[in-house]
Amino acid sequence: MNDMQKIVVLGAGYAGMRMVKKLAKAKIDAQIVLVNKNTYHYQSTELHEVAAGTKEPADITFDVKQVFAKKRNVQVVIDEVTKIDQDTKTVELKDSGSLSYDYLVNALGFESETFGIKGAEENGLPLIDIDTALAARKHLEDTLKRYKTSHDENDLKIVVCGAGFTSIEYLGELVYRLPDLAKEYGFPIDKVKIDCIEAGPKILGMFEPKLADWGVKFLESKGVTFHVSTPITEVKPNAVVSNDTEFPANTIIWTTGVHGSHVIADSGYDEKRNRVVVEDDLRVKGQPDQFLIGDVSAVPNPDNGRLYPTTAQISIAQADCAAENLVSLINGGTTKKFVFKSLGTVCSLGPKTGIASIDMMGHWNLKGWLAAVSKKMIADRSTLELADIRTMLETD
Backbone angles phi, psi at 144, to 5 degrees: -65, -40
Question: What is the Rg, in whole angstroms, of the alpha carbon atoms belonging to the chain?
Answer: 22
Per-residue pLDDT at 382: 53
Per-residue pLDDT at 343: 80
The upper half-sphere exposure of residue 31, i.e. CA atoms within 13 Å in the direction of its Cβ, equals 11
By CB atoms closer than 10 A (0-12, 13-18, 19+), residue 186 is exposed
Question: 187-228 pLDDT, tens per residue?
Answer: 999 999 999 999 999 999 889 999 999 999 999 999 999 999
Among 18-22, 179-183, 389-393, the range scoring the smallest mean pLDDT is: 389-393
pLDDT at 388 over 90: no
| pLDDT grade for 385, boundaries at 50, 70 and 90 | low
Per-residue pLDDT at 39: 95
- The whole-angstrom separation of Cα 105 and Cα 236 is 40
Per-residue pLDDT at 393: 33
Among 38-47, 154-163, 224-233, the range scoring the smallest mean pLDDT is: 38-47
The more confidently predicted of residues 298 and 206 is 298
In 172-321, where do the E strands start and end? 193-197, 224-227, 234-236, 239-242, 245-248, 251-254, 258-260, 276-277, 283-284, 287-292, 297-298
| pLDDT grade for 102, boundaries at 50, 70 and 90 | very high
- The whole-angstrom separation of Cα 345 and Cα 332 is 38
Which domains occur in the chain, in start order? 5-37+79-112+258-339 (3.50.50.60), 114-256+343-396 (3.50.50.100)
pLDDT at 2 over 60: no
pLDDT at 383 over 90: no
Note the helical H segments in the chain.
14-25, 47-52, 64-67, 120-123, 130-150, 165-185, 209-221, 263-266, 312-330, 369-387, 389-393
pLDDT at 277 over 70: yes
Give Cβ neighbours of residue 89 (< 8 Å, ≥ 6 apart): 100, 101, 102, 104, 289
Alpha-carbon distances of 278 from 32, 294, 308, rounded to whole Å: 22, 11, 12
| pLDDT grade for 396, boundaries at 50, 70 and 90 | very low
Give Cβ neighbours of residue 76 (< 8 Å, ≥ 6 apart): 33, 34, 36, 64, 65, 68
Average pLDDT of span 135-151: 98
328 backbone φψ class: left, alpha, beta (φ>0; ψ -120 to 50): alpha
Task: State the chain's mean pLDDT as an integer.
Answer: 92
* CA 245 from centre of chain: 31
| pLDDT grade for 357, boundaries at 50, 70 and 90 | confident
Contact 338, 281 (CB under 8 A): yes
Number of residues written out for the chain: 396
- The whole-angstrom separation of Cα 381 and Cα 388 is 10
pLDDT at 14 over 60: yes
The H or E element spanning position 160 is strand 157-161
What's this model's pTM, rounded to 2 decimal places?
Answer: 0.91
**Dihedral over alpha carbons 20, 8, 317, 287 (to 10 degrees):** -160
Above pLDDT 90, what percent of the chain? 79
- The whole-angstrom separation of Cα 268 and Cα 175 is 43
Q: Which residues are catalytic?
A: 169
Residue closest to 317 by CA, chosen among 336, 333, 331: 336
Question: 240-266 pLDDT, tens per residue?
Answer: 999 999 999 999 999 999 999 999 999
DSSP summary character for residue 355:
E
